[in-house]
Chain A
């Protein structure tokens, strides 16, 4: 039940090729200026609502780009934070961005300054609003918890990769009555966010959110390509289930779809079927 090489079932190579192609073609289309469609996910409405609530209250907004170092998820989290900052800049609501990594900190400073410029309120940008607290998990967590309680934040946004510290953030935000929106690809932490936050953006939705906001061709194209792959998976599952039901679970077509060593029986079956 495992693949040592692609030869174990060439279907693997075909499927990987198909996914790669659909991702690359869509990235190319997006780069050519084609407007690719990505649906507006409900999480975005939740973000906008939270922004609205915090501007009414006039208390600060906190943003946490996860615990990890600088990587794909941190970049995408900052894209979303830039969007939020642009929105709240119009109402001069104060914001705090708290990081646990020096590189993320440096990039975040730039991004937030950019956001205020783009909102045409560079005067509101306070370099001290982006802070590096600690790179130690629980030291960072207690720093964030302290700040949330002291400043009685109105909204708390958590996007990126999180570990066990997630529940400390969520619990503290809950105590001060902040609107909380979380978005993470760390599935083990999602239950804590769902139980304690007002809305949780889960898994792939997180990537879709930043693609939607940034309109970055590579992200958009990749998102659309991945969708094609998912649809092909789903149709293989439905089609395969029907074949399994009517023709048996070891029909050559069923074996082809994913079983190691499933290629040979399929080829034999196919040549027989064509020969006849």
Chain B
């Protein structure tokens, strides 16, 4: 089975060559900086506006369930959102539904809090890890202190200054769900009726969420690292999204080019074998 024509040889190209092309493309485009201002999609704009509309001191829950596997997508979102919350001087608490997610989000939040003069326990808190999302949401809808008991540093919830005047999820204004999995459905299904939801999914599950955006079950979407870049531009900061965006868009160009090339080769090959 020796390939005969150049087209056939092209179609049977060794996959390792393709891998190499992709790797080189990504390393190259990561190093170069081409600044293109984005068009802010309405879903990101309404995300921003929802947070902007809150009053200083309002309470926000950040649900953070991502860890190393999807770090590249979720970390830029998480950082951008936290920076926005702190800029607005909002109070917030973080909760994770996976143990690695707790460690990673606590570490990051502590760093960003220090940079912005936020004090853990006073301005924000990390509730640690809850194994079951349904128990957590249904329980917190009645009583946060009873459900969570202690924050990640083992301080009882009732003693946290940040929790003053907050009894249950009903006293929260907003949930921001930063996630690579289907936690959104649990928030949608089991939250108290008036709690608003903002959504930071990985891009894989972003398209599915547009039906919830249309129905008003969620109010905004930041789509992966690309969305984080758009959000960073809205906030006027430079973060991981800004660093990644160039490599993301040129990898798209590369893939589109190769899909077209593959189809062209097949077309030519068919014509050659027909004649």
Contact B208 A187 (CB under 8 A): yes
Closest to A187 in B: B208
- CB-CB nearest in chain B for A258: B215
> Within 8 Å of chain B (Cβ to Cβ): is A260?
yes
- In the assembled complex, the Cα of A231 lies from the Cα of B205 at a distance in Å of 28
B12 cross-chain contacts in A, Cβ below 8 A = 175
Q: Is A198 an interface residue (CB 8 A)?
A: no
Given A8-B193, A260-B193, check contact A2 B188 (CB 8 Å). yes
Chain B CB within 8 A of A137 CB: no
**Interface positions of A from 1 to 50, Cβ below 8 Å from B:** 1-4, 8
Q: Is the CB of A4 within 8 A of B192?
A: yes
Cβ of A241 within 8 Å of any chain B Cβ, yes or no, is: no
Residues in B neighbouring A2, C-beta threshold 8 A: 188-193, 217
Query: A188 near B: Cβ within 8 Å?
Result: yes
Which of A4, A8, A188 has the most chain B CB within a 10 Å cutoff? A4
CB distance from B209 to the nearest CB of A (A): 13
Bound Cα distance from A261 to B190, whole angstroms = 16
Residue of A whose beta carbon sits closest to that of B217: A1
| Contact A1 B193, beta carbon cutoff 8 Å | yes
Provide the bound-state CA to CA distance between A261 and B193, in Å.
Answer: 10
Query: In the assembled complex, how far is the CB of residue A174 from the closest CB belonging to chain B, in whole angstroms?
Result: 10
B65 close to chain A: CB less than 8 A: no
Q: Does B253 contact A (CB under 8 A)?
A: no
Q: Are A188 and B205 in contact (CB under 8 A)?
A: yes
What's the minimum C-beta distance from B137 to chain A, rounded to whole angstroms? 10
CA distance A175 to B12 in the complex (A): 8
B216 at the interface (CB under 8 A from A): yes
Q: B215's closest neighbor in chain A, by CB?
A: A1
Say yes or no for B204: interface residue by CB 8 A criterion: yes
B179 within 8 Å of A (CB atoms): no
Question: Are A1 and B192 closer than 8 Å at their CB atoms?
Answer: no
Say yes or no: B208 contacts A4, CB within 8 Å: no
Residues of the B chain whose Cβ atoms lie less than 8 Å from the Cβ of A4: 141, 192-193
Query: Nearest CB to that of A1 among chain B residues?
Result: B217
| Contact residues in A for B215 (Cβ distance below 8 Å) | 1
User: What are some 17 contacts across the A-B interface (CB < 8 A)?
Assistant: A1-B193, A1-B215, A1-B217, A2-B188, A2-B189, A2-B190, A2-B191, A2-B192, A2-B193, A2-B217, A3-B189, A4-B192, A8-B193, A175-B12, A188-B204, A188-B205, A261-B193
> Which 5 residue pairs of A and B lie closest in terms of their CB atoms, listed nearest first?
A2-B193, A2-B191, A1-B217, A260-B193, A188-B204
